[in-house]
Amino acid sequence: MDRKLAFADYVVFIIYFVLVASYGIWIYRRKRKAVTDTKDFFLAEGSLTWWAIGASLIASNISAEQFVGMSGEGFFAGIAVAAYEWIAALALIIIAVWFLPVYLKNKIYTMPQFLKTRYNETVALIMAIFWLLLYVFVNLTSILYLGAVAINGLIPGEHLHTIMIALAVFSLLITLGGMKVIGFTDVIQVGVLIIGGLATTYLALTVVSESFGLGSNALAGFNALLKEAPEHFHMIFSKPTPASSQLEVDKYLVLPGVAMYFAGQWIVNLNYWGCNQYITQRALGANLTTARTGILFAGLLKLMMPIIVMLPGIAAFVLYKSGHLNLTDGRKDYAYSAILGFLPSGLKGLSIAALTAAIVSSLAGKVNSISTIFTLDVYKKYFNREASEQKMVWTGRLAVVLSMFVGILFTWKDILGIGGKGGFTFIQQYTGFISPGVLAMFLLGMFWKRTTATAAVAGLVTGFGLSVFFNEYAPQLTGHETLLYTAYPTQIVENGVATTVYQIPFLICMGLAFLFTVIVMVGLSLAGPRVNAKAFQLDREMFKVKPSTLVLIVVTILILMALYVKFW
């Protein structure tokens, strides 16, 4: 892999940097007087257009987790990993039609605020702490680590820590300007990452075509992928049998066939897109029509994301298998960087810019959400109830800097073992520890008037406890085969020593935890009043959609159906 950068690469990257920085400064100065207001700093209230909301959602979502992690899973498992992107499009329809009206009607600005309004302050505080820990120690650290690994693999020498700091500083410059700056600079960021990502995919397919003597033809390269790795183009994995290879078992553990569509896949997406401050924050400052259109626009963009973030991984697999690509220990998280090594001068700079855009926008969105939750739901309520608007904005900025510092500290020597698990799996698995309880609290809180605060606390504890139990202890305590699950053997390597352990696919663990959490919450709520005093008032008019919105929904569903028919 060629890690040399030409003059054209530096020029392209510098143009990207100057463009984003200049636009961010212009946006900040244009609205400078308003940045002493918390709703403007944290929500950019009323100023984001539908296209800015949609672009910002994608720019914040598509990060090193996707470019590096999902490309790595494409290398390992193939197109089945696209389920995370394609089911997200359906989840966004559900969020736009049913979740968003509830948030906007009740003037919800943060997720802990939702829990306080619907339940009580105890539930809100518990979840605020949970979210802060998750965002800092799982999301922030993984974005920093994977981003630094990806960019380090593209440039001469070893500069992992320098890159990590540079990414953090760049994202801080954007974040300190508030959500308005983040939202509008994300329009540029998403443009760069899509153009750069598509260029990378096109070149990767061309390299495959040339490697197999088919000329410089991207379509021929894609057909070569279908021929050389047909097993990588199936969305649904069969359940392993005693005759299955260990590779087939390991793939199923990550993406458990049809079963995941009845379990964790929906929990992952509905929780991420609908109950996640980091994401929903973009839409909470807009009116319903604008927010809905922006979210559905993001859903359409999600349908094309596997082309950018997953297909290069399959190309890397075919090249690696055929001896045309050197890959460090065959590690999947290095697949994307290895592909980028084939790019010519200028395009390599564009790809580094695309990666940087994805990483920086995600970091900026993440730390802004951390500061929003800390400032509005912790600092204001429990440390300084009389804090002025300006004081809270500066507290939010301080929280931004401190959270980034902690993220770097824990990423510096990969204390959390992100590299060992694989970045994408690390994020999904550990986020999945709280997703079942959180989603159950939100769904029942929105749509069942009988749900009580006691049930919400019990649901949170139950969801977390059962997630840990099924992921870590169930196979050893209750057996490898039960009515609820099947655990499969896999190898874990620690300090060079391989140990065989039995694991339940983590998406199945999430589904089981969610099921029992809902049962517990319903049972406890039935002991309370028929209508909880804090229940939301809902009416059918809230959920009606305009014809233009319906068109977007139908188009998204038809494209999704065609994709699954093709690659089932």
**Bigger pLDDT: 5 or 181?**
5
Tell whether the model's pLDDT for residue 471 goes beyond 80: yes
CB 173 within 8 A of CB 368: no
Tell whether the model's pLDDT for residue 141 goes beyond 70: yes
Q: In which element (H, E) is residue 493 found?
A: strand 488-494
Tell whether the model's pLDDT for residue 243 goes beyond 90: no
Q: What pLDDT does 339 receive?
A: 81
pLDDT band at 455 (very low <50, low <70, confident <90, very high): very high
CA-based nearest residue to 346, from 4, 1, 19? 4
CA-based nearest residue to 227, from 310, 307, 324, 322? 322
Among the listed ranges 57-71, 412-426, 539-553, 554-568, which one has the minimum average pLDDT value? 412-426
pLDDT tens digits along 320-352: 888 887 776 667 777 877 887 777 777 777 777
Percent of the chain with pLDDT over 90: 22
pLDDT band at 494 (very low <50, low <70, confident <90, very high): low
CB 28 within 8 A of CB 181: yes
CA-based nearest residue to 27, from 364, 490, 310? 364
DSSP of 187-215: HHHHHHHHHHHHHHHHHHHHHHHHHTTS-
Count CA atoms within 13 Å of residue 257 on its CB side.
10
Q: What is the pTM of this model?
A: 0.81
| pLDDT, mean over the chain | 82
Burial per residue of 381-414, b for 16 or more beta-carbon CB atoms within 10 angstroms, e otherwise: beeeeebeeebbbebbbebbeebbeebbebbeee
pLDDT band at 178 (very low <50, low <70, confident <90, very high): low
| pLDDT (mean) for 169-183 | 65
Q: What pLDDT does 456 receive?
A: 93
Q: What pLDDT does 496 receive?
A: 61
Tell whether the model's pLDDT for residue 314 goes beyond 80: yes
| pLDDT (mean) for 163-186 | 69
| pLDDT (mean) for 195-221 | 87
DSSP of 84-95: HHHHHHHHHHHI
Phi, psi of 335 (to 5 degrees): -60, -45
Among the listed ranges 171-180, 248-257, 264-273, which one has the minimum average pLDDT value? 171-180
Q: Which CATH architecture has domain 7-431?
A: Up-down Bundle (1.20)
pLDDT tens digits along 509-550: 999 999 999 999 999 999 888 888 888 888 888 889 899 889
pLDDT band at 50 (very low <50, low <70, confident <90, very high): confident
pLDDT band at 561 (very low <50, low <70, confident <90, very high): very high
pLDDT band at 35 (very low <50, low <70, confident <90, very high): very low
| pLDDT (mean) for 395-418 | 80
Q: What pLDDT does 93 receive?
A: 95
Q: In which element (H, E) is residue 389 found?
A: helix 389-411
CA 137 to chain centre: 14
pLDDT band at 445 (very low <50, low <70, confident <90, very high): very high
| pLDDT (mean) for 127-153 | 81
| pLDDT (mean) for 81-86 | 89
Tell whether the model's pLDDT for residue 63 goes beyond 80: no
Q: Which burial class, exposed, middle or buried, applies to 539 when counting CB atoms under 10 A from its CB (0-12, 13-18, 19+)?
A: exposed
Q: Which burial class, exposed, middle or buried, applies to 167 when counting CB atoms under 10 A from its CB (0-12, 13-18, 19+)?
A: buried
pLDDT band at 505 (very low <50, low <70, confident <90, very high): very high
In the chain, domain spans: 7-431, 433-537
| pLDDT (mean) for 151-166 | 76
Fill in the amino acid letter for 467. S
CA-based nearest residue to 195, from 68, 359, 316, 357? 357
**Bigger pLDDT: 42 or 437?**
437
Return the structure tokens found at 390.
């300006």
Most confident of 87-96, 98-107, 274-283, 375-384: 87-96
**Bigger pLDDT: 487 or 69?**
487
